[in-house]
Amino acid sequence: MKVSVRGSILDLLAFRGLPGKRKKRFAKASSRPLPVHPVNELAQRLHPPKLQLVVSEIRDETPTTRTFKLAPAADSEIAALPCFRAGQYLSLKAAVDGARITRPYSISSAPFEALGKNGFYEITMRRVEGGFFSDHVWRHWTVGTPVQSSSPVGLFYHEPLRDTGKIVGLAGGSGITPFRSMAREIVFGDLDAELLLLYGSSDEEDIAFYDELEELEGKSSGRIRIVHVLSSEGASLEGCEQGFITAELIERYADVPGSSFFVCGPEMMYRFLEGELSKLDLPRRRVRREVWGELTDVASQPGFPSEAVGRTFQIKVKMNGISTEIPARATESVLVAMERANLASPSLCRSGECGFCRSLLLGGEVFVAPSGDNRRAADQKLGYIHPCSSYPLSDLDLETPGEA
pLDDT band at 374 (very low <50, low <70, confident <90, very high): confident
Q: How large is the average pLDDT for residues 235-254? A: 91
pLDDT, residue 7, reads 66
Residue 77 has pLDDT above 80, yes or no: no
pLDDT, residue 46, reads 80
pLDDT, residue 100, reads 83
Residue type, 398: L
- What is the Cβ-side half-sphere exposure of residue 253, based on CA atoms within 13 angstroms? 24
How many Cβ atoms sit within 10 Å of the Cβ of residue 179? 28
Closest CA to 203 of 227, 230, 229, 176: 230
Listed in order, strand segments (DSSP E) in 44-143 are 51-62, 65-72, 89-96, 99-106, 121-126
Q: Which has more confidence, 95 or 180?
A: 180
Interval 35-50: pLDDT, tens: 888 888 888 878 888 9
Q: How large is the average pLDDT for residues 379-388? A: 93
Indicate the range of 3-7, 19-23, 190-194 predicted with least confidence: 3-7
pLDDT band at 99 (very low <50, low <70, confident <90, very high): confident
Decide if 120 contacts 69 (C-beta within 8 A): yes
Closest CA to 319 of 338, 306, 301: 338
Indicate the range of 32-46, 92-106, 226-240 predicted with least confidence: 32-46
Q: What are phi and psi of 25, to 5 degrees?
A: -70, -40
Residue type, 4: S
Check: CATH 2.60.120.1090 for 45-149?
no
Q: What is the end-to-end Cα distance of the chain in Å, rounded?
A: 45
Architecture of domain 166-289: 3-Layer(aba) Sandwich (3.40)
**Full-prediction pTM beyond 0.75?**
yes
pLDDT, residue 1, reads 43
**Mean pLDDT score of the chain:** 90
How many Cβ atoms sit within 10 Å of the Cβ of residue 38? 8
Closest CA to 267 of 228, 313, 301, 241: 301
Q: How large is the average pLDDT for residues 99-128? A: 92
**Cα separation of 330 and 334, whole Å?**
9
Check: CATH 3.10.20.30 for 299-399?
yes
SS3 229: strand
Interval 287-305: pLDDT, tens: 999 877 778 888 888 889 9
pLDDT band at 5 (very low <50, low <70, confident <90, very high): low
CA–centroid distance for 284 within its chain:
19
Q: Is 316 exposed, middle or buried (0-12, 13-18, 19+ CB in 10 A)?
A: middle
In the chain, domain spans: 45-149, 166-289, 299-399
Residue 117 has pLDDT above 80, yes or no: yes
